[in-house]
Amino acid sequence: MSKEVFLCAISNISSGSCAEDCGFCTQSAKHHADIQRYKHKEINQIVEEAKIAKANGAVGFCLVTSGKGLDDKKLDFVCRACEAVKREVKELNIIACNGLANLNQLKSLKSAGVDLYNHNLESSRKFYKTLCTTHSWEQRYQTCLHVKEAKLRLVSGGIFGLGESEDDRVSFIQSIKSLNPFTVPLNFFHPNSALPIKKEPLDEDLALAIIKYTRSELPDVRLMVAGGREITFKTKQAQIFDAGANSIVIGNYLTTMGNKPNKDIQMIINAGYDIAQYCNA
């Protein structure tokens, strides 16, 4: 595997107040978590965040909205945000992450300049029913198929540490494999007292084994460690690269804080890896 690590930053451009009931997500209105809530982040602010992300070495910038999926207003907002970032910040790949989407909506995003679409399967088909009752795993899978049909690069992964079994993990990775995504983000549960799921962060060696297994099954994907990295891997964060990850999220997450970007960059360099200069997506 190349010794390059790809950095990606995320911007929560529409936060909280989601009507869905995903048990791991603080943005669900049903859980009343203590998070920031706003409908639309100012486009100027999104552009400023994109400039900072690029200056910090990010090659990808992800526009995330809470909620089940896209409607006309949200689609228009994401397209305008994408166009503004593309105008002002060169050589920064745009990922949109806006929930369930149909083919026409995804084609509109592509026309606006979106390069990749992130939609996670989250877990195995069987286990997902216990995580969310307001939409189905099959709807998520269908959106991933639409992403490919719209000729956007697919970003699809999931979250571990919710009480899923070993079989669930294997089944989930095989489903991801069937979609042949460009990037696979692996998230690790970050406990919050407001959430119905009461689990401690996964043991770091088990989490490293999950990365290794995923890499062995998906040798060619960009394998990203996303949310929950700091709280799960603690002092072993640098080991995620030897385990097979070649991408991380830098800066803050949707509703939780991340490491300072310069600290992560130093960690990557100290581990013997280079920071990728281009996304190549």
Which residues here bind ligand SF4, judged by CB under 6 A? Answer: 18, 20, 22, 25, 27-28, 66-68, 99
If the CB atoms of residues 18 and 154 are measured against ligand SF4, the closer one turns out to be 18
In terms of Cα–Cα distance, which of 30, 35, 100 is closest to 65? 100
If the CB atoms of residues 68 and 148 are measured against ligand SF4, the closer one turns out to be 68
Asked if residues 157 and 186 have their Cβ atoms less than 8 Å apart, the reply is yes
If the CB atoms of residues 25 and 208 are measured against ligand SF4, the closer one turns out to be 25
Q: From CA 28, how far away is CA 154, in angstroms rounded?
A: 24
If the CB atoms of residues 67 and 191 are measured against ligand SF4, the closer one turns out to be 67
What b/e sequence results for 158-193 when a residue is b if at least 16 CB atoms lie within 10 Å of its CB, and e otherwise? Answer: bbbbbebeeebbebbbebbeebebbbbbbbbbbebe
Q: How far is the CB of 103 from ligand SF4 (least distance, A)?
A: 20
In terms of Cα–Cα distance, which of 137, 136, 117, 128 is closest to 70? 117
Q: How far is the CB of 226 from ligand SF4 (least distance, A)?
A: 13
If the CB atoms of residues 71 and 167 are measured against ligand SF4, the closer one turns out to be 71
Q: How far is the CB of 252 from ligand SF4 (least distance, A)?
A: 16
Q: From CA 214, how far away is CA 239, in angstroms rounded?
A: 15
If the CB atoms of residues 64 and 250 are measured against ligand SF4, the closer one turns out to be 64
In terms of Cα–Cα distance, which of 128, 133, 111, 212 is closest to 175? 128
Q: How far is the CB of 24 from ligand SF4 (least distance, A)?
A: 7
93 forms beta bridges with 60
CA distances, 182 to each of 173, 234, 261 (Å): 14, 27, 24
The first and second tokens of residue 197, run together, are: 């799921």
Q: How far is the CB of 10 from ligand SF4 (least distance, A)?
A: 13
If the CB atoms of residues 119 and 215 are measured against ligand SF4, the closer one turns out to be 119
Q: How far is the CB of 99 from ligand SF4 (least distance, A)?
A: 6
3-state SS track over 111-123 = HHCCCEEECCCEC
Q: How far is the CB of 179 from ligand SF4 (least distance, A)?
A: 18
Q: From CA 14, how far away is CA 70, in angstroms rounded?
A: 12
